[in-house]
Amino acid sequence: MRNHRGQRSLEILALFLPEIKELLEKKDFPQLKDFLKKVPSLDLAEGFKSLSLTEKILVFKLLSAQKAIELFENLRFEEQSLLLNNLANEEVSQVLNEMSADQRVKLFKDLPQRVVKRLFGMMRKEEVEDVRRLLSYREGTAGAFMTTDFIELKKELTAKNAILRLQEGRKAGQAQQDIYSVYVTDDEHRLTGTLSLQELLLAAPDMPIRDLMSPAELIKITHDMPREEVAKWFSKYDLLDVPVVDEADRLLGIITIDDIVDVIQQEATEDIAKMAGTKAEDIAARSTFRIARLRLPWLITTLIGELVVSVIIKHYEFTLSKIVALASFLPLIAAMGGNVGAQSATIVVRSLATGHIQQKDMARTVFKEFRVGVLLGVCYGIVLAVMAFSLYGDRFELFFPIVVGLGMCTSMIVASTAGAAEPFVLSRFGVDPATATGPLITTTTDLVSTSAYLVLATWILL
């Protein structure tokens, strides 16, 4: 959960930076302080990188406490560390104590142990506890990206008193974040219900929370739910926030929609990267060696698979030496098979990821893709036979085009069937189905189509 929703138009972005720079140069700090009040903190965070270190610290110190925290939350990790190393202890302590719990734990996750220790020394004890607790959840689960900034109420309160409680909380500096719902707990902090702000606002003032809330059995998730599952849940039920509980039903934190939007984007990026045989980190990586290392594993798999293809071709060297023309269609047949296989695999992988099909739909899906493969294989087989005849018709008998056409047809049928089956099989063995597309399917297809083509040729032509 980030502080206040950024509300601005794209044009503003370019306008404020020159003015800030000018006021910094003129050292007109009172006016700069005034001007900074008007700049949204999200835009300030975006322009921050073009300031020098001294300018950054100056600007930071001129901001109101609330705005300084908002700015800090929206900076990138590198700039956050820079500020933490260059601000006075009391400023660091204020920022770390007041920033939102999930942004803070994200920051601490990446800091070196030595720095963490030093910063913990400047923070309030209960905030240190909060960071420690959040850091203990396993990466990729609901617990690891929830926030502990939520509003907890007792069910005996009336709507009016609940609203008063929220207003007092704001005055006391709490509740700077967006609130979508309030959470009703019993004396052991067990979740008993939730209530959206809208229903609270529209309720009769003396109605007790008990009669307004939705019962909690319906909506909670446990801290160990994988984040993809959480995202599916939000997307299916149009939720704004969801409470996270432990095994004993105690309220641990909440997850809000803005974080889910990020998760959905990241999950898609990860799938896309995996489909091409690399990792999502590839996008942000700068070092050539690092990128090469991310892409290496699937290239090795391809290399090994294709070396087997080489050995198969070597095995049929005699056939090839008799009819060298066969070689000229090898890449074509492999490529067409590879493409058809990648299409089938990609569609199946994406359908599984979005929940459009499940593991139980395997037989139906593979049969569907088999039919598509037959249709495409027969069409393209005929086309290719005609092409082979027109390229080499003067030299070989009719059997040559038939071998080429049959090779194409077999390759496409096998490729689309295997492409559809691979994601199901991988996911049954606990491997992410997205790895099935790209390198793995191209290599499988090359293997199968080359063998089929050369075996057919040896049978029919020799």
Q: Hey, which residues between 237 and 296 contact a copy of itself (CB under 8 A)?
A: 237-240, 257-258, 260-262, 264-265, 268-269, 271-273, 275-278, 282-284, 286, 288-289, 291-292, 295-296
Binding flag, residue 339, a copy of itself (CB under 8 A): yes
* 3-class secondary-structure state, position 316: coil
Strand partners, 241: 256
Q: Which stretch binds a copy of itself (CB under 8 A): 7-15, 97-105, 109-117, 246-254?
A: 7-15
Give min distance, CB of 308 to a copy of itself, in A: 9
Q: Which stretch binds a copy of itself (CB under 8 A): 60-68, 90-98, 134-142, 320-328?
A: 320-328
Q: Which of residues 110-169 bind a copy of itself (CB under 8 A)?
A: 163, 166-167
Per the listing, tokens 């820079």 go with 82
Antiparallel, parallel or unpaired: β 191-196 and 181-185: antiparallel
Give min distance, CB of 197 to a copy of itself, in A: 5
Binding flag, residue 15, a copy of itself (CB under 8 A): no
At position 26, the amino acid (one-letter code) is K
Q: Which stretch binds a copy of itself (CB under 8 A): 4-12, 20-28, 48-56, 97-105?
A: 4-12
CA dihedral 44, 47, 52, 55 (to 10 degrees): -30
Per the listing, tokens 């007109």 go with 28
Q: Which residue in 338, 407, 423, 433 binds a copy of itself (CB under 8 A)? A: 338
Binding flag, residue 314, a copy of itself (CB under 8 A): yes
Tokens of 435: 């790895």
Q: Which residue in 123, 157, 200, 414 binds a copy of itself (CB under 8 A)? A: 200
Q: Which of residues 418-447 bind a copy of itself (CB under 8 A)?
A: 437-439, 442-443, 446
* 3-class secondary-structure state, position 95: helix
The rounded distance, in Å, linking the Cα atoms of 59 and 54 is 9
Nearest CB to a copy of itself, comparing residues 141 and 346 = 346
- The binding track of 366-395 with respect to a copy of itself, each residue x by CB under 8 A or -, is --x--xx--xx--xx--xx--x---xx---
Give min distance, CB of 85 to a copy of itself, in A: 27
The site for a copy of itself, by CB under 8 A, has a size of 120
Contacts of 108 (CB under 8 A, 6+ apart): 116, 119, 131, 135
Q: What sign results for the dihedral spanned by CA atoms 292, 296, 302, 307?
A: positive
The rounded distance, in Å, linking the Cα atoms of 410 and 228 is 37
Nearest CB to a copy of itself, comparing residues 79 and 241 = 241
Give min distance, CB of 129 to a copy of itself, in A: 27
CA dihedral 448, 452, 455, 458 (to 10 degrees): -130
Nearest CB to a copy of itself, comparing residues 127 and 369 = 369
Q: Which helix (H) or strand (E) holds 234?
A: helix 227-237
Q: Which of residues 391-420 bind a copy of itself (CB under 8 A)?
A: 391-392
Give min distance, CB of 136 to a copy of itself, in A: 25
Contacts of 84 (CB under 8 A, 6+ apart): 92, 115, 119
At residue 454's C-alpha, the angle toward residues 453 and 459, to 5°, is 100
Tokens of 374: 């037959």
Q: What sign results for the dihedral spanned by CA atoms 312, 315, 316, 322?
A: positive
Give min distance, CB of 268 to a copy of itself, in A: 4
Nearest CB to a copy of itself, comparing residues 8 and 49 = 8
Specify whether the CB–CB gap between 115 and 144 falls below 8 A.
no
At residue 172's C-alpha, the angle toward residues 157 and 29, to 5°, is 155
Binding flag, residue 9, a copy of itself (CB under 8 A): yes
Q: Which residue in 61, 76, 124, 170 binds a copy of itself (CB under 8 A)? A: 170
Give min distance, CB of 413 to a copy of itself, in A: 13
Nearest CB to a copy of itself, comparing residues 92 and 437 = 437
Nearest CB to a copy of itself, comparing residues 91 and 102 = 102
Specify whether the CB–CB gap between 432 and 354 falls below 8 A.
no
Q: DSSP class of residue 191?
A: E
Q: Which residue in 66, 86, 97, 351 binds a copy of itself (CB under 8 A)? A: 351
Antiparallel, parallel or unpaired: β 221-222 and 214-215: unpaired
Q: Which residue in 207, 325, 402, 461 binds a copy of itself (CB under 8 A)? A: 325
- The binding track of 32-71 with respect to a copy of itself, each residue x by CB under 8 A or -, is --------x-x-----------------------------
Give min distance, CB of 130 to a copy of itself, in A: 22
Binding flag, residue 100, a copy of itself (CB under 8 A): no
* 3-class secondary-structure state, position 405: helix
Strand partners, 222: 245
The rounded distance, in Å, linking the Cα atoms of 453 and 231 is 45
